[in-house]
Chains A and B, each alone.
Chain A
């Protein structure tokens, strides 16, 4: 039987590191003293300090479910450093960023992307933002793109932050939401005023350089009515032989008739435990679009959630997950239809190879008041060998008769008929198989700006070899 050989993700671009020079780190583990130390370092307002400590309490009392999901046995919180501050403050000019950090982001292409195609960039290194800038003409439209901590101390935005921070993802949501609430650091605040359409994306990039550390950035985006924003986030880390942890949080508020596209290329190293929480709430006529590429991490729990809370609101989720050797990636999405005439469309793909485990997990809930709802979920999985696993676990809960909900899933290998069809058009077998696998991932790459689509395709390097078996 002809087999398809697919090269593993090429991580050499990302697997470099710099020595922690003169950085500040708290001790390993998680105690009220450590949480207070972080709060002191950040000069938190009193409400935030209390909030952090209450989250620690919730974290200590919560437990992970033991009947579903990948094991996180290898994650020992006593050995995780929750705060590492590089020896620099945040700059708005790359020239002023320390060389090793600047070189890190140069290698990752961030300054170049900023020059060529972005309206603003935030770059986080370990626990702190080291660079943040927004183009003048964007700021002049009233768009706010700044680090969350500065916004929290800025009297123009402080109240807004307090009213929204961890209201959409409360610390009681799950154990690692509580952990995030206790030790969060860094992350961005974006505010798009009413009627503003930002045609060029904003981007945040998260780099975790420190060994045995955690990154807990918080992204808060408020898009007012009749506005548009495309926000891109990327992340990576060098590989170590000890665990790193990412427990970030993203909260998105989409106003009436507004549209927010949130794109992510996740490429954490294979020692990373990625326990991330992302949630959007959408008002009347609004749209949230998720574009999600998951390529990294040792273990991932990632289910961006959309709450369609206004009449006619919409959600689109497009995702791809690539699970290779040593990876157990449990990803998917959740949608709650909580108003009439709402609609959701989910289209995901996954590839498993070399013993990788990919699980698509989803929930679609249609509440009794969500009359006239339409929802469609489609997931397709490609298995490239029998050492790997691919599981599909989609749940649907419909609580009104006035809804149309459909779901379909498919799992298998590359179709011999499709290969034959292409070969009959003069294409070699190796190229035919390559085309099919590239096309399989096309649902995400075509939704990204060109530069990011190129990066994503570079992450999946393909070697097609036909063997006679």
Chain B
């Protein structure tokens, strides 16, 4: 067990806001299953940062191969599995792959960690779908990706969390004309923390980045969303956008948001927007006038946000199964 700092902002602010990073007591991490090798590890930056990477360094890495159709891995954590899993994906020039990770457990009050590292060569295209249903547990989800010229990385994260979830995503767009598109949808509640850290470093020319985060908070959860778009010098013609929309269901939740744009290049377009609050009164009135109670309205809206993200899952079987489960 270690006390470490994760999900740090690259450009920090007032310390008393307690928003610059998260400090956690991690569990001891053991491999989810046999196999893999630490030789498969890739040396790239990830969203949770160096200390977390070190925590997992002894956990073997599985190299996920492109089979030509969607690769689906269902990680069901039980008493008979370990609690940590690491995957790496390297796509060659022009390769294309869809990878679905599902994280599930029936256990309670444990801690679990996954790490996914991705390298995309020129013109490669990669879609990563993560569906998280980890119940009342602490879940660490760390992602790092480096994008070559004209490569595309699409990330869809669907998070249903009843305790603490920490997610870190770091994407380095080295290649000109590379594209990163992310959709995060979540329903987070319970008594824990919901902590997200996105960092996108745009180095190449004409790179594009789009982050959308939509969710609902309930219970006593404390949520922190950190989204940093960093236009490096030389990234001319690049665009970056982040948008967050959070619905607060209960008065006991707490929402912290810090959408950052860092810019060292003139010829770029960066935008961010955040909307935080309760349901629009007219929308609520409309639903209630149709006989739907307030709690049910919020539940409907939460499911709608999740469904909207799920509808983007390119693998039909995964998509349909998930939508049916809602």
Contact = CB atoms under 8 A, between A and B. Distances in A.
Interface of A: 1, 65, 67-68, 361, 363, 368, 381, 383-386, 388-413
A386 B275 CA distance: 31
B274 interface: yes
A371 to B, nearest CB: 8
B257 interface: yes
A398 B274 contact: no
Given A393-B13, A395-B17, A412-B270, A403 B276 contact: yes
B233 interface: yes
A406 B275 contact: yes
A398 B12 contact: no
Contacts of A399: 254
Contact of B263 (A67, A389, A394, A396): A389
A304 to B, nearest CB: 15
A402 to B, nearest CB: 6
Contacts of A395: 13-14, 17, 19, 256-258
A409 B243 CA distance: 10
Interface residues of B, number: 41
Given A363-B17, A381-B263, A401-B253, 19 more contacts: A1-B267, A65-B14, A67-B12, A68-B13, A68-B15, A363-B13, A389-B262, A391-B261, A393-B11, A393-B13, A395-B258, A396-B276, A398-B256, A401-B277, A401-B278, A402-B251, A403-B248, A407-B257, A412-B268
Most buried by B among A67, A368, A386, A413: A386
B266 interface: yes
Nearest to A65: B15
A67 to B, nearest CB: 5
A394 B276 CA distance: 14
Contacts of B266: 383-386, 388, 413
Contacts of B11: 68, 391, 393
A1 B267 CA distance: 10
A363 B14 contact: yes
Interface in B245-303: 248-251, 253-278
A65 B264 CA distance: 24
A402 B248 CA distance: 8
14 contacts: A67-B15, A386-B233, A386-B236, A393-B11, A393-B13, A394-B258, A394-B260, A395-B19, A396-B255, A396-B274, A401-B249, A408-B272, A411-B268, A411-B271
Contacts of B234: 386
A155 B187 CA distance: 61
B208 interface: no
Contacts of A398: 248, 254-256, 276-277
B274 A390 contact: no
A406 B243 CA distance: 11
Contact of B264 (A389, A400, A404, A409): A389
A383 B264 CA distance: 9
Contact of A400 (B20, B233, B251, B257): B251
B274 A407 contact: yes
A227 B249 CA distance: 40
Contacts of B262: 389, 391-392
Interface in B1-56: 11-15, 17, 19-20
A386 B238 CA distance: 13
A400 to B, nearest CB: 6
Contacts of A385: 266
A410 B13 contact: no
B277 A383 contact: no
Contacts of A413: 266-268
Contact of A407 (B13, B14, B259): B259
B167 to A, nearest CB: 19
A383 B263 contact: yes
Contacts of A406: 273-276
A390 B259 contact: no
Contacts of B254: 397-399
A397 B259 contact: no
Contact of A411 (B250, B270, B276): B270
A383 B12 CA distance: 22
Contact of B277 (A368, A405, A408): A405
A404 B15 contact: no
B251 A396 contact: no
A67 B8 CA distance: 11
Nearest to B276: A405
Contacts of A390: 263
Nearest to B267: A413
A361 B262 CA distance: 12
Contacts of B272: 392, 407-409
Nearest to A374: B277
A230 B1 CA distance: 58
A410 B271 contact: yes
A193 B27 CA distance: 62
B193 to A, nearest CB: 14
A409 B259 contact: yes
Contacts of A401: 248-251, 253, 277-278
A384 B14 CA distance: 28
A256 B194 CA distance: 39
Nearest to B255: A398
Closest 8 CB pairs of A and B: A401-B248, A404-B277, A411-B270, A68-B12, A383-B266, A405-B276, A407-B274, A408-B273
Contacts of B277: 398, 401, 403-405
B119 to A, nearest CB: 28
A410 B264 CA distance: 14
A392 B9 CA distance: 13
Nearest to A332: B13
Nearest to B223: A398
Contact of B260 (A67, A392, A410, A412): A392
A409 B261 contact: yes
A451 to B, nearest CB: 34
B259 A394 contact: yes
Nearest to B279: A401
Contacts of B267: 1, 386, 413
Nearest to B248: A401
Contacts of A363: 13-14, 17
B129 to A, nearest CB: 29
